[in-house]
Amino acid sequence: MANTYTLIQSVTVGSGGAASIEFGSIPQTYTDLMVVHSTRTNRANTGDWLLVSFNGSTASFTERDLYGTGSATGSSSATPRYMAEIVGGSATASVFGNGVVYIPNYTSSSYKSYSADAVGENNATASLQVLIAGLWSNTAAITSITITSGSASTLAQYSSASLYGIKNS
């Protein structure tokens, strides 16, 4: 990893689980942000997904995603704030989905784009992978990022997320 990457903060979910993770008071001194996550929920399914929001806003998000299941592929734009495919509580024990979200120019006065890739690892034949291009049509600088389960499930113990700041020089 380039030496321009700086770990801002990292968090791991404790034994009680958590509905969401929020990085707040994000310093405005970097060029880009990146969130690396390893997550699992208690959803009664092998799969689950994560949604992202900025500054507490859930409005004005759009996305286009390309996905593969291991046996089929497809694309969609039906799920605003989509940021990752992960695993639910019925997945193989002790496995976690993982992924990265990259947010360039988060302090600019332009709309904020993000790109994401993730895989709902299941240590089995089928595993959903996804590439996402997202947009938040808002000109505010990003000061907080919230990650939550799209199925309103609970993030399981040992789920983790790390926020990195990237400078272009």
Partner 1 sequence: MATKLIVDCSTGVTTEVELTAEEVAQREVDAAAWAVAEAERETEATAKAASKASAVAKLAALGLTEGEVAALLA
Whether the CB-CB separation of 118 and 97 falls below 8 Å is answered with yes
Residue 24 interacts with partner 1 (CB under 8 A): yes or no: yes
**Residue choice 2, 93, 152, 169 for contact with partner 1 (CB under 8 A):** 152
Per the rule left: phi > 0, alpha: psi between -120 and 50, beta: everything else, 152 is left
Residue 79 interacts with partner 1 (CB under 8 A): yes or no: yes
**Residue choice 35, 39, 41, 81 for contact with partner 1 (CB under 8 A):** 81
d(C-alpha 25, C-alpha 154), whole Å: 24
Residue 58 interacts with partner 1 (CB under 8 A): yes or no: yes
Residue 70 interacts with partner 1 (CB under 8 A): yes or no: no
**Residue choice 20, 31, 55, 138 for contact with partner 1 (CB under 8 A):** 20
Residues between 85 and 144 with contacts to partner 1, criterion CB under 8 A: none
**Residue choice 6, 76, 92, 137 for contact with partner 1 (CB under 8 A):** 76
Which residues have CB under 8 Å from 59's CB, separation 6+? none
Residue 15 interacts with partner 1 (CB under 8 A): yes or no: no
Query: Residue holding tokens 């019925």?
Result: 90
Which region, judged by CB under 8 A, interacts with partner 1, from 97-105, 117-125, 132-140, 149-157? 149-157
d(C-alpha 96, C-alpha 11), whole Å: 15
99 half-sphere exposure, CB direction, 13 A CA radius:
28
Closest approach, Cβ 118 to partner 1, in A, equals: 15
d(C-alpha 16, C-alpha 125), whole Å: 30
Which region, judged by CB under 8 A, interacts with partner 1, from 75-83, 89-97, 100-108, 132-140? 75-83
d(C-alpha 18, C-alpha 5), whole Å: 27
Shortest CA distance to 121 belongs to which of 72, 90, 87?
Answer: 87
What does the binding site for partner 1 look like in residue numbers (CB under 8 A)? 8-9, 11, 13-14, 16, 18-27, 49, 51, 58, 67, 69, 71-72, 74, 76, 78-79, 81, 146, 148-152, 154, 163
